[in-house]
Amino acid sequence: MDSETTIRIFISVVLVAGFVFANATVMGYLERKLAGHFQRRLGPMEVGWHGILQMPIDGIKLLGKRMLIPKQAEGLIFRLAPVISLSPVLLPLMVIPFSPALQVVDMKVGLIFVLAIEAFGTIAVFLAGWSSNNKYAMMGALRSVAQNIAYEIPILMVALSVALLARSFSLREIVMSQAALWFIVLQPLGFLIYMVAGLSECNRAPFDLPEAESELTAGYLTEYSGIAFSLFMIAEYTHMFIICCLATVLFLGGWQGPELPWAEYSSAIWFLIKAYGLMFCMVWVRWTFPRVRYDQLMNFAWKYLIPFALVNLFVTALGVYIYEKLFS
């Protein structure tokens, strides 16, 4: 690796880290204002214009709070869990093509890399719940492990069927191959399964059983205060952002879109519009639906999502085979 690319990668890593915190702030603000307006109230209004500064202020306040570590808690793992939860959400942003130019490194196996790294989030949540020596946290941790395993499989299969269509695992190729037709048209069921499984992957309502507020007080976050709690929040928002970015890349044709006034940035802007549109739907779903019960969650994954994903994969493979036979 010559020095020029290492510098480029180093700068882009710093930019991505900055982007992650900026996205967490924007998403947090978006969520609280949207929640407010969904619920016929205003949401934060007091600080800055219409509460713009509310999320940074919350972050600084959490910085200033004392981080309590319970005596019987596993000290090392307790401190490591927030860091472990943040790292798997930083790495996938390296591979996601925001626009033809804006991509840190284009790996040939980008899709597999992203899905593999994403699974680490579950380990972090489990460590957090187990190590804080709190019954509610432990139950939240166990729930999150079972839930994420169950919902990882449909995501993999749907991603596989998209890779089958694009005949490549590189995210850039996938976006390129959607120039003619977005994959959402070819794979509507796949898109639905992906969004539902993605929602449950990042523990968002109506599948937010690991930190079910009414059952397990604060779930795996019960013992965390101060900066550790805010790290978990940032990890959750970034994980949500990655799920939406992946959905945009796989189904909504990445950065493709009609020309916008700022010609050279239009592709990145299109990408962000699509990603934040999907995030809006996630926030919308969170503030409307009640929480699913634990065994219903499991049944839904094993009895409905996985069979449908298998059927979808099979039909796609059949379609590609016939297409290959006819046209080449």
Partner 1 sequence: MENPGQRQPGRPVSGTTLGAADPAQPDMDRGLWQPLRLAENILDACRANSLWPLTFGLSCCAIEMMSAGMARFDMARYGAEVFRPSPRQADLMIVAGTVNKKMAPVVKRLYEQMAEPKWVIALGNCAVSGGPFAGEGNYAVIEGVDKLIPVDVYVAGCPPRPEGLLEAIFTLQEKIIGRKHSFPQNRHPQQEENT
Partner 2 sequence: MTNSETEARTFRMHVNLGPQHPSTHGVLHLELEMYGEYVLGIDPVLGYGHRMHEKMAETRPWQSFFANTPRIDYACSLPHSHCYASLLEQALDIEVPARARSLRIITSELNRITSHLLWVGAFLLDLGAFTPILYCFDDREQAVDILEHITGNRLTHAYMCAGGVMADADDAILRKTRKFIQRMRGRFQIYDRLITNNIIFVTRTRDIGIITPDLARAYGATGPVLRGSGVPCDIRKIAPYGGYDDFEFDVPLGSNGDCLDRYSVRLQEMRQSLNIIEQALDQLPGGPVRAKVPRKFKPAPGHYSFSVEGARGDVTYWAVSDGSEIPYRLKIRSACMANLSLFPELCQGMLLADLISTLGSLDLVIPEIDR
Q: Which residues bind partner 1 (CB under 8 A)?
A: 32, 36, 39-47, 51, 54, 57-58, 60-61, 63-68, 213, 217-218, 221-226, 229
Task: Compute CA distances 305 → 131, 202, 231, whole Å.
Answer: 32, 16, 31
Contact partner at residue 254 from partner 2, partner 1, none, CB < 5 to 8 Å by partner kind = none
Q: Name which of residues 18 to 37 contact partner 2 (CB under 8 A).
A: 35
Provide the CB-side half-sphere exposure for 112 (13 A, CA): 6
By C-beta, is 33 or 172 nearer to partner 1?
A: 33
Q: What are the tokens at 328?
A: 């080449």
**Minimal distance, residue 125 CB to partner 2, in Å:** 17
Provide the Cα torsion 118, 305, 202, 114; round to 10°.
20
303 binds partner 2 (CB under 8 A): no
The count of residues in the chain is 328
Q: Is 10 in the site for partner 2 (CB under 8 A)?
A: no
Question: Under rule CB under 8 A, which residues in 196-235 are in contact with partner 2?
Answer: 205-206, 208, 212-215, 217
In the shown chain, the binding pattern of residues 108 to 137 toward partner 2, with x for contact by CB under 8 A and - for none, equals ---------------------------xx-
Query: Among 268, 211, 274, 204, which Cα is nearest to 240's?
Result: 204
**Which of partner 1, partner 2, none sits in contact with 222, Cβ below 5 to 8 A by type?**
partner 1
User: x/- contact string, 283-302, with partner 2 (CB under 8 A)?
Assistant: ---xxxxxxxxxxx------
Residue 325 binding: pick among partner 2, partner 1, none (C-beta 5-8 Å cut-off by kind) = none
Which H helix or E strand runs over 186? helix 183-186
State the Cα angle at 290 between 51 and 312, rounded to 5°: 105
Q: Say if residues 182 and 251 touch (Cβ distance below 8 Å).
A: yes
One-letter amino acid for residue 203 of the chain: N
> For partner 1, which is the closer residue by CB, 55 or 94?
55
Q: How far is the CA of 248 from the CAs of 47, 170, 241, 252, 327, in angstroms?
A: 33, 14, 10, 5, 28
What's 291's DSSP letter? P
Q: Which does 280 bind (CB under 5 to 8 A by kind): partner 1, partner 2, none?
A: none
Does the footprint of partner 2 cover residue 70 (CB under 8 A)?
A: no
- CB under 5 to 8 A by kind: which of partner 1, partner 2, none does 64 bind? partner 1
| Chain residues that interact with partner 2, rule: CB under 8 A | 35, 38-41, 135-136, 139, 205-206, 208, 212-215, 217, 286-296
